[in-house]
Chain A
Amino acid sequence: MSAPLAPAPAPTEADPVRCDIPVTGMTCAACSARVQRALERAPGVRSANVNLMTSTATVAYDPAATSADRLVAAIRDTGYGAEPPAAPRAASERVAERDAVREAEVREIRSKLIVSLAVAAISMVLGMRPGGMSGTGSGERWLLLALTLPVVLWAGRHFYTRAWAAFRHHGADMNTLIAVGTGAAFMFSLVVTVAPGWFAVRGVPVDVYYEAVAWIIALILLGNLLEARARGRTSDAIRRLAGLRPAIARVLRGGREHEIPLDALRAGDEVVIRPGDRIPADGVIVDGASTVDESMLTGEPAPVRKTAGDRVVGATLNRNGAFRFRVEHAGEDTVLARIIRMVEQAQGSRAPIQRLADRVSAVFVPVVISIAIATFVIWFDLGPDPAYLHALVAAVTVLIIACPCAMGLAVPTAVMVATGRGAELGILVKGGEALERAGDLDVVVLDKTGTITEGHPAVTDLSGEAPEEALRLAAAVERLSEHPLGEAISGAARERGLVAPPATAFESLTGLGVAASVEGRRVLVGSARLLAREGVDAAALDADAVRFAAGARTVVYVAADGRLLGLLGVADPVRPTSRAAVERLRAMGLDVVMLTGDARATAESVAHAVGITTVVPEVLPDHKLEEVRRLQRNGARVVAMVGDGLNDAPALAAADVGIAMGTGTDVAMETGSITLMRGDLAGVPQAIALTRRTMRVIRQNLFWAFIYNVIGIPVAAGALYPVFGLRLTPAMAAAAMAVSSVSVVTNSLRLRRFDPR
């Protein structure tokens, strides 16, 4: 049973390609008019518009008849300069560039981290020396200052410059908190070191906090390092998808094979695929046969059999056969490129659940700074002696423990990992909102045709004394018919390796069937009424006919020279995985409803076969939408509509979650809030399970990020001091903050291991 990916249909008359070509050398309206005329005369051009002001030719052309390169040549022939339109940068390049920058960032943080950790450790050892209180002696203070200076000026420098840049925009972020916190501790220590006499004269006790500064910077750098690494992994899925493009393609040109880089591959090229090759682009097999593993795009584990005329999709893996195929879409037009773009867009969306986090983030830092100031004042006024030192430490601890990052990362990292993991499983979620709604579903409505069933009729049963012969002769007659049943019968004969002989004297007997002369025999293919009219006795197979009809089959009788040969049962067959998928949806606590245009008997037979109890039969296509609305009103439930995205688009759009199935076409991707690449229902419970898991992770992240700050900040301020005498040190605060943001990202990364089964 194969439900292969359908790449976007080849551009047809109604589907031109549009491109912008930069043109140079045009100085007047006459120039642009000349270029425009040349383009309009070029073969395959639908329309051309040359803009003198922007020096650009915008051309709509038929990709089967011409190419951007030929259009460039046509412009150059007029004497003006033209450049091929800049190709949108491939996802793999963007990912690689981003990785390089992140690598450099990680390297820089790592060396800064090593230095500041070393300084912090040395400072701690100095402070622990027997008889040596932290920085009490003047010489010791100068030594600590000398050690800490490179940490502040080099390792922590970016905290200060970034905080300043934000400050100038009236903005404040994590850097502001670190800069103010460490800055206050460092500047105070510096004053004590340089002018201890000022304090001594006034009899004020002193202390220095160089060690704390070094620890804060070291621990926060450690947190940044772990976070940068973890965040790099949130886009692993895109990296893996982009890596599915092979580097080269073997192209047949002038009867010889050439290895060309993938970027040079164009629509129309003929590509040679050998066993084990990764397919470089989307196209149609012209010669040969093989099985192709499409699991990396569809999530469907079973490889798909392909022969001449079948479509292949770029990034999928050829198994044992060899074939040639003609490229229809290459580069950024392929299904793979569209998947990557869609995932990137989904990752750019915002989930409604994030609004609260956004509101808090927007005011977070200034509020924390205010709390720190208040903390200082309260300790100064009410705290034990030396009050001002306690006040300083408590205020710095508040600034350092507060962690806006955990809140900012809670939702986006989970959405990124989930959409990426989904894409690997053939589940394309359009964005954060779709994810969130799918996590709350109550009802799943299945459009029968094309989801529960294959979507096209097929011969499902044969009976009679010579069933194969009946099929062979029926196929011969049906070759001349245009009835949809004919397609099913011809297909069934082909599948069994039966060759349909030529037929003559074809007649179509409206409402009854067809008749023709095959191998000298008069063959009838049609209903019981046709046989009765022709005087053929069909009583022998009455029992089978009744059985077929009860199973919602259309019964087709085949007779030759007045004798009944056999019966064919034709139906839109139920996909073998549908029943298990429905069971799983029900086990997940979802109501499953089947919607169909079929008559009640047929509908109920299919529903029974897959275990659905709620059936809405005889629904006209344009009433599917109303049916979805009715279910939504009915107890204000969250309704998902599953369809093939072709004739049920309005219902998909009206549902809270539209799940378009089994297609990689643009239409379906536009319509569905979730698109499933695999063609059977199994993807539906998988997609819902993924969204539920994701929402759970998001809620955990948000809870953690909020509760961490809600508890951490008061404790850092000294809320537990009056009763328990418990206080945090700034270094403890720095460690807590580092752990906090890393743990949120790590929790999101758990979604990478989401198992759809």
Chain B
Amino acid sequence: MSTAQLLVTAGGVALIGWVLWYFFLAGRAGVAARAMGDDVQRVRIDVQGGYTPNEVHVAAGRPVRLDFFRNETNPCTEEVVLPAFGVRAWLAPHETTPVEFTPAVPGTYDFSCGMGMVHGRLVVEPA
């Protein structure tokens, strides 16, 4: 094996390692936020290639309103789906679309784009 081949092989393995680390491990640490409000718990979620915050904490039993601000035209994020609450909302580009529901049961629920590529979590805590 030539030096160039050794270098490319080592570089390739390192690069694969970095790709897997960056997308699977480094991405774990999300941005968490707590929905606020006495009556309706509200939080704004920016949608641009992902959700910021991508982890939202709410209390069970009270209405939740997620304001999705879709700041892009990428059709990948044009829909947001909360399967546990029967929500599939279309997000108009560069606009805020409210999604309202009342989580009854504490637990962790997934929300994602229409195709399940972009993910966020809703953590419903006991009231």
Contacts and interface: CB of A to CB of B under 8 A. Distances in A.
Q: Do A and B associate with each other?
A: yes
Contacts of B40: 54
A346 B83 CA distance: 9
Interface in A343-380: 344-350, 354, 357-358, 361-363, 365-366, 369-370, 373-374, 376-377, 380
B75 A228 contact: yes
B95 to A, nearest CB: 9
B38 to A, nearest CB: 6
B15 to A, nearest CB: 5
A404 B117 contact: yes
Given A54-B38, A228-B75, A373-B16, A101 B93 contact: yes
Contacts of B36: none
Nearest to A341: B86
Contact of B19 (A51, A173, A369): A369
A168 B49 contact: yes
Contact of B72 (A165, A174, A380, A405): A165
A51 B39 contact: yes
A173 B20 contact: no
Interface string A401-434: 0001100110010000000000000000001000
Q: Is the interface of B mostly helix, strand, loop or mixed?
A: mixed
Interface size class of A (residues with CB under 8 A): 35 or more
B23 A165 contact: no
B86 A363 contact: no
A721 interface: no
Contacts of B23: 170-172, 365-366
B100 to A, nearest CB: 10
Given A172-B23, A370-B20, A374-B12, A362 B118 contact: no
A373 B83 contact: no
B92 A171 contact: no
B55 to A, nearest CB: 12
A171 B12 contact: no
A345 B87 contact: yes
B39 A381 contact: no
A600 interface: no
A164 interface: yes
A366 B24 contact: yes
Interface of A: 51, 53-54, 56, 94, 97-98, 101, 105, 158, 162, 164-175, 228, 344-350, 354, 357-358, 361-363, 365-366, 369-370, 373-374, 376-377, 380-381, 404-405, 408-409, 412, 431
Interface of B: 1, 4-5, 8-9, 12-13, 15-16, 19-20, 22-24, 26-27, 38-40, 48-52, 54, 72-76, 78, 81-83, 86-90, 92-93, 114-119
27 contacts: A53-B38, A54-B38, A98-B90, A101-B78, A169-B51, A170-B22, A170-B27, A171-B27, A171-B50, A173-B76, A174-B76, A345-B86, A346-B86, A348-B82, A349-B83, A357-B116, A361-B115, A362-B119, A373-B15, A374-B16, A377-B12, A380-B8, A381-B1, A381-B8, A408-B115, A408-B117, A412-B114
Given A105-B73, A172-B23, 12 more contacts: A168-B50, A169-B52, A348-B83, A348-B89, A350-B83, A361-B116, A361-B117, A365-B23, A377-B8, A381-B5, A405-B115, A408-B115
